[in-house]
Structure 1
Amino acid sequence: MRVGLAPMRDLLARLGAPQASLRVIHVGGTKGKGSVCALIEAGLMRAGLRVGRYASPHVESVTERVCLQGRPVADAALARALTRALDAHEAARRDGTAGADATWFDVLTAAGLAIFGEAGLDWAVIEVGLGGRLDSTNAVDGEVAVVTNVGLEHTEILGQTRAAIAAEKVGILKPGAALVTTLDPDDEAGAVAAARAAALACPILRPAIPPGAPIAEENAALAGLVLDHLGRRGARGRDCLPLRAALLDAEARAGARLPGRLERRTIPTAAGPVPVVLDGAHVPFNLAAVLRDLARAPDLSGPCIALVAMAADKDAAGFLSALARSAEAVVCTEMPERRGHGAAALRALAAAAGLEAEAMATPEAGLAQAADLAAARGGWLLVTGSLHLVGALRGSTQA
Structure 2
Amino acid sequence: MTAVHAAPSLPEVLDRLDRLTDWEKRPRGGMRVGLAPMRDLLHRLGEPQASLRVIHVAGTKGKGSVCALIEAGLMRAGLRVGCYASPHVESVVERVCLQGRPVGEAVLARALARALDAHEAARRDDTAGADATWFDVLTAAALAVFGEAGLDWAVIEVGLGGRLDSTNAVDGAVAVVTNIGLEHTEILGDTRAAIAAEKVGILKPGAGLVTTLPPDDEAGAVLAARAAALGCPVLRPPAPGGSIAQENAGLAGLVLGYLGAGGARGRDGSPLGAGLLDAAARAGAVLPGRLERRALRTAHGPVPVVLDGAHVPFNLAAVMRDLGRDPDLAGPCTALVALAGDKDAAGFLAVLARHAGYVVATEMPERRGHAAAALRALAAAEGVEAEAVAMPDAALARAADLAARRGGWLLVTGSLHLVGALRGATDPS
Deviation per CA, 1:347-380: give whole Å up to 9, x if none: 0011011111000020001100100010001000
| Equivalent in the alignment of 2:80 | 50
| Equivalent in the alignment of 1:112 | 142
Instruction: Please tell me whether residue 157 in structure 1 is matched to residue 187 in structure 2.
Output: yes
Question: Shift of residue 3 of structure 1?
Answer: 4.8
CA contact (8 A) 1:279 1:384 kept: yes
SS in structure 1 at match of 2:154: strand
| Equivalent in the alignment of 2:169 | 139
- Matching residue's letter, 1:367: L
Task: State the TM-score, normalizing by the size of structure 1.
Answer: 0.99
SS in structure 1 at match of 2:424: helix
Question: Shift of residue 226 of structure 1?
Answer: 0.3
1:330 to 359, 364, 370: 359
- Matching residue's letter, 1:380: W
Deviation per CA, 1:158-186: give whole Å up to 9, x if none: 11000000000000000000000001100
| Equivalent in the alignment of 1:393 | 422
Deviation per CA, 1:88-111: give whole Å up to 9, x if none: 000011111111111110000000
Structure 2 CA distance, aligned partners of 1:173 and 1:246?
A: 25
Question: Shift of residue 2 of structure 1?
Answer: 2.9
**Alignment gaps of 5+ in structure 1:** none
Deviation per CA, 1:129-174: give whole Å up to 9, x if none: 0000000000000000000000000111111000000000000000
| Equivalent in the alignment of 1:247 | 276
| Equivalent in the alignment of 1:359 | 388
1:89 to 106, 119, 144: 119
Structure 1 CA distance, aligned partners of 2:34 and 2:369?
A: 27
- Runs ≥4 residues deviating over 3 A: none
Structure 2 CA distance, aligned partners of 1:38 and 1:210?
A: 20
Q: Any residues of structure 2 matched to 1:227-266 within 5 Å, and which?
A: 227-266=256-295
CA contact (8 A) 2:33 2:165 kept: no
- Matching residue's letter, 2:299: A
| Equivalent in the alignment of 2:406 | 377
| Equivalent in the alignment of 2:13 | none
**Alignment gaps of 5+ in structure 2:** 1-30
- Matching residue's letter, 1:125: V
CA contact (8 A) 2:177 2:199 kept: yes
| Equivalent in the alignment of 1:23 | 53
| Equivalent in the alignment of 1:63 | 93
Question: Shift of residue 272 of structure 1?
Answer: 1.2
Instruction: Please tell me whether residue 5 in structure 1 is matched to residue 35 in structure 2.
Output: yes
CA contact (8 A) 1:11 1:110 kept: yes
Deviation per CA, 1:16-48: give whole Å up to 9, x if none: 000000000000000000000000000000000
Compute the RMSD of aligned alpha carbons: 0.6
| Equivalent in the alignment of 1:292 | 321
CA contact (8 A) 1:363 1:389 kept: yes
Question: Shift of residue 209 of structure 1?
Answer: 3.8
Question: Shift of residue 271 of structure 1?
Answer: 1.4
Structure 2 CA distance, aligned partners of 1:251 and 1:336?
A: 38
Identity value in percent:
83
SS in structure 2 at match of 1:126: strand
2:104 to 74, 78, 96: 74
- Matching residue's letter, 1:341: H
| Equivalent in the alignment of 1:201 | 231
| Equivalent in the alignment of 1:349 | 378
CA contact (8 A) 1:265 1:398 kept: yes
Instruction: Please tell me whether residue 275 in structure 1 is matched to residue 304 in structure 2.
Output: yes
Structure 2 CA distance, aligned partners of 1:206 and 1:98?
A: 38
- Matching residue's letter, 2:282: R
Structure 2 CA distance, aligned partners of 1:219 and 1:228?
A: 14
Structure 2 CA distance, aligned partners of 1:4 and 1:388?
A: 25
| Equivalent in the alignment of 2:198 | 168
CA contact (8 A) 1:173 1:197 kept: yes
Structure 2 CA distance, aligned partners of 1:4 and 1:394?
A: 34
CA contact (8 A) 2:34 2:166 kept: no
- Matching residue's letter, 2:46: G
| Equivalent in the alignment of 1:304 | 333
Deviation per CA, 1:35-90: give whole Å up to 9, x if none: 00000000000000000000000000000000000000011110100000000000
Structure 2 CA distance, aligned partners of 1:230 and 1:14?
A: 31
| Equivalent in the alignment of 1:313 | 342
| Equivalent in the alignment of 2:245 | 216
SS in structure 2 at match of 1:273: strand
Structure 2 CA distance, aligned partners of 1:398 and 1:149?
A: 32
Structure 2 CA distance, aligned partners of 1:238 and 1:361?
A: 52
SS in structure 1 at match of 2:427: coil
| Equivalent in the alignment of 2:44 | 14
- Matching residue's letter, 1:43: G
SS in structure 1 at match of 2:97: strand
- Matching residue's letter, 2:258: H
- Matching residue's letter, 2:406: R
